[in-house]
Amino acid sequence: MQTVSLEENEKVSAIVFEIWQKVWSYFEDENEAARRAYSVDFEFYAGAEDIEIYISLKE
């Protein structure tokens, strides 16, 4: 059985929040090259510190 400590969960939460801050900042200026569609965004957790966030874009 694999266990995860509360401290590790807090670290992952901080990493995810930091990534989302970068996403929000990137799209804050209404970037014409890439505009969010707000239809499907998701987080992929490949490991405790290997997290990817996928953002839906308008065509």
Q: Which residues of the chain have pLDDT under 50?
A: none
Nearest to 20 by CA among 56, 57, 54: 54
Instruction: Give pTM, 2 decimals.
Output: 0.73
44 neighbors 52 (Cβ within 8 angstroms): yes
Say if 20 falls within a structural domain: yes
pLDDT at residue 43 in the model = 92
Say if 59 falls within a structural domain: no
Q: Please tell me the total count of domains within the chain.
A: 1
pLDDT at residue 1 in the model = 59
Range of the domain at 13: 6-54
pLDDT at residue 13 in the model = 86
pLDDT at residue 10 in the model = 82
Residue 28 burial (10 A CB sphere; 0-12, 13-18, 19+): exposed
Say if 47 falls within a structural domain: yes
Say if 1 falls within a structural domain: no
CA dist., res. 7 & res. 19, Å (int): 19
